[in-house]
Amino acid sequence: MKSDKKIKAYLLRKLTKKKNILFNIHNSKKVLIMKYDRIGDMIVATPLFRELKNAYPNINISVLASKTNKDVIKYNPYVDHVYINYKNNIINDFPTLLHLRKKKFDVCIELEHSVIPHAILRLKIINSKKNISIHKDGRYGIKGEELELYDYFTNKDNKGHFSKIWLDTLTFFGIKSSSHKYDIFLSDLERDRAKNFVLSLGDKIKIGINIEGSFPEKSIQKEELKQICSGLFKNFKNIVIVILSSPSRISNTNKIISEIGLDNVISSYSTETIIDVAALIEHLDLIITPDTSIVHVASAFDKPVVSIHENNQHSFRLWSPSSSLSKTVFAKSNYGLSEYSVEKVIKFSSDFLK
């Protein structure tokens, strides 16, 4: 086992060797930011694009996104180019990576918090003049700072949210970020569709509930949903509850709504992309959700949000809601949403509605 670790450490050192290039990143014209993972991660990264573009208006910002999260920045005015990456299939990504190599980026900002081999391979192929990343503890006995491929690392932050941790990469450009606010931009097409749907609901208070978690064990179950809805209807008569639903889950959502048998609980229209969901959330009064991308969408519009989170304070620190009005109910389990207090969800929601 020790010998295997030594071999991996040796290969990692060899793979991350890099010729030092004399270049002042304050003179950068082209920057690539790598964020090819989940939707919520991209939302939390959006302050990075804005703060960099505001400080350097003439800089060209490209983002290496995923098929899953690319729509978050579909209309983002601070991003000049979006490229798609498939993360676990570097062979299919190879043509795109070679294309990016030809772009001759001045700086690449990589936001992985661990030493990730596939990210290192991509950086090697892209071959920008300078590479910036956040603090990495290392791997196979090698400290992150020993990896020559990276020119700058941020300081370790054991207290900050990921939005701050990622924004700290801009300190090497001499930028002190003025805001951590998330950005989600919409077109009239998405906004008008949401507006017409909400207008059809009349003058009732409109509560959005997202029942889908990133994994089945992180979702709101049918019986818990019924208890939450019943508790809210007991406290408020003038409300309508909209169950947010993705296209692939809408038939299952309608089945759940039918089975709980409560008036004024309806399904949202079919939201094809995260932008469609965002447009609807912008017009709702309160959001209830497990810890998913919906937390960050609600935060982008500063909507009151009641989130349900597993009992993991480290994860919560990194991903907590940033809305000015937010409350979180913690489950008893360290993973998944086992034994959380439905009564607290109802109480926190009722307090916001009052």
Q: Residue 214's pLDDT is what?
A: 76
Same domain, 143 and 253: no
Q: Residue 3's pLDDT is what?
A: 67
Number of domain units in the chain: 2
Q: Residue 2's pLDDT is what?
A: 62
* Three-class SS of 55-105: HCCCCEEEEEEECCCHHHHCCCCCCCEEEEECCCCHHHHHHHHHHHHHCCC
Find the CATH number of the domain harbouring 53: 3.40.50.2000
- Condensed to tens digits (0 to 9), the pLDDT of residues 43-89 reads 999 999 999 999 999 999 999 999 999 999 999 999 999 999 987 78
End residue of a domain, out of 130, 148, 173: 173
Same domain, 197 and 333: yes
- Domain assignment of residue 3, yes or no: no
pLDDT at 1 over 70: no
pLDDT at 247 over 60: yes
Q: Residue 215's pLDDT is what?
A: 78
- Domain assignment of residue 2, yes or no: no
Same domain, 165 and 194: no
- Condensed to tens digits (0 to 9), the pLDDT of residues 251-308 reads 888 899 999 999 899 999 989 899 999 999 999 999 999 988 999 999 999 999 999 9
- Domain assignment of residue 267, yes or no: yes
Same domain, 136 and 89: yes
Same domain, 131 and 217: no
Using only C-alpha atoms, the chain has a radius of gyration, in whole angstroms, of 22
Same domain, 141 and 244: no
Structure-token pair, residue 59: 């800089």
Same domain, 214 and 336: yes
Same domain, 139 and 27: yes
| 31 compared with 177, residue with greater pLDDT | 31
- Domain assignment of residue 180, yes or no: no
Q: Residue 234's pLDDT is what?
A: 94
Q: Is 9 helix (H, G, I), strand (E, B) or coil?
A: helix
Annotate 297-336 with b (16+ C-beta within 10 A) or e (fewer).
bbbbbebbbbbbbbbbeeebebbbbbbeebbbbbbeeeeb
Same domain, 164 and 199: no
What is the chain's mean pLDDT, rounded? Answer: 92
Q: Where do the H-state alpha helices sit in 222-341?
A: 222-235, 250-260, 274-282, 293-300, 313-319
- Domain assignment of residue 183, yes or no: no
Same domain, 16 and 159: yes
- Condensed to tens digits (0 to 9), the pLDDT of residues 137-147 reads 877 788 888 88
Q: Residue 310's pLDDT is what?
A: 93
- Domain assignment of residue 178, yes or no: no
End residue of a domain, out of 173, 198, 227: 173
Same domain, 114 and 248: no
The parent domain of residue 197 ranges over 188-353
pLDDT at 5 over 80: no
Q: Hey, which residues does 288 pair with through a beta bridge? A: 209, 306
- Domain assignment of residue 232, yes or no: yes
- Condensed to tens digits (0 to 9), the pLDDT of residues 183-206 reads 999 999 999 999 999 999 999 999
Same domain, 227 and 345: yes
- Domain assignment of residue 212, yes or no: yes
End residue of a domain, out of 149, 173, 197: 173
Share of the chain above pLDDT 90, in %: 76
